Amino acid sequence: MAVERTLSIIKPDATRRNLTGKIIAKFEDAGLRVIASRRMRLSQADAEAFYGVHRERPFFADLVKFMISGPVVVQVLEGEGAIAKNREVMGATNPANAAPGTIRKEFAESIEANSVHGSDAPETAANEIKFFFRDLDIVS
C-alpha cells in the first residue's frame, strides 16, 4: 500500500477535556506519524470554508458554531494507507455506531461533538492539508 498523508483535526470537545495526548497516542499506536501540528482557533470564516461541502445540511450552522467554540489541533498524519487507517482509528461519525477501541467510541460526546475530523479521500486530503499548512511546515 502507498504511503499517504491525511488531515486530522482534534475538535473543541476534545481539547476542552484535555484529551489531545490520548488521541495522538491512538494515531501513533496505529502506525500513523504526526508530520505537522498546530493548535489554533478557527474563525467563523475558516470553519464555514472548511466544512463548505455541508453548507446545505441542517446541522451546518451548529457545526460551525461548535468548531469555533474552542481551540482545535490541526495535524498532518502520514503512513501506509493513512486516509483509510485514520478513518478506521476515528470510528463511525456517530459514536453510538463506532467500534470498540476507536477514538469516537471512547471519547466522543455526540454525533456533532465527535472529537476528531479526518479527510475522506486523496483529493480532499490534499486540499485540506493545503488549507492549513505550507509545504515548509510539513516534516516527515
Catalytic (active-site) positions: 117
84 forms part of the interface with ligand ATP (CB under 6 A): no
Q: Which of 93, 105, 109, 126 binds ligand ATP (CB under 6 A)?
A: 93
**Cβ at position 8, least distance to ligand ATP in Å:** 9
Alpha-carbon radius of gyration of the chain? 14
**Cβ at position 111, least distance to ligand ATP in Å:** 5
Q: Which of 28, 59, 138, 140 binds ligand ATP (CB under 6 A)?
A: 59
Compute the CA torsion angle 87, 27, 80, 74 (nearest 10 deg): 70
Cell numbers describing residue 30 = 496505529
Distance CA 60, CA 66 (A): 10
Within 10 angstroms of residue 70's Cβ, the number of other Cβ atoms is 14
Stretch that binds ligand ATP, among 13-21, 35-43, 77-85, 110-118 (CB under 6 A): 110-118
114 forms part of the interface with ligand ATP (CB under 6 A): yes
Q: How many residues bind ligand ATP (CB under 6 A)?
A: 10
**Cβ at position 117, least distance to ligand ATP in Å:** 3
Distance CA 113, CA 107 (A): 10
Order of all β-strands in the sheet with 33-40? 33-40, 72-80, 3-10, 116-118
Binding site for ligand ATP (CB under 6 A): 54, 59, 63, 93, 111-112, 114, 117-118, 120
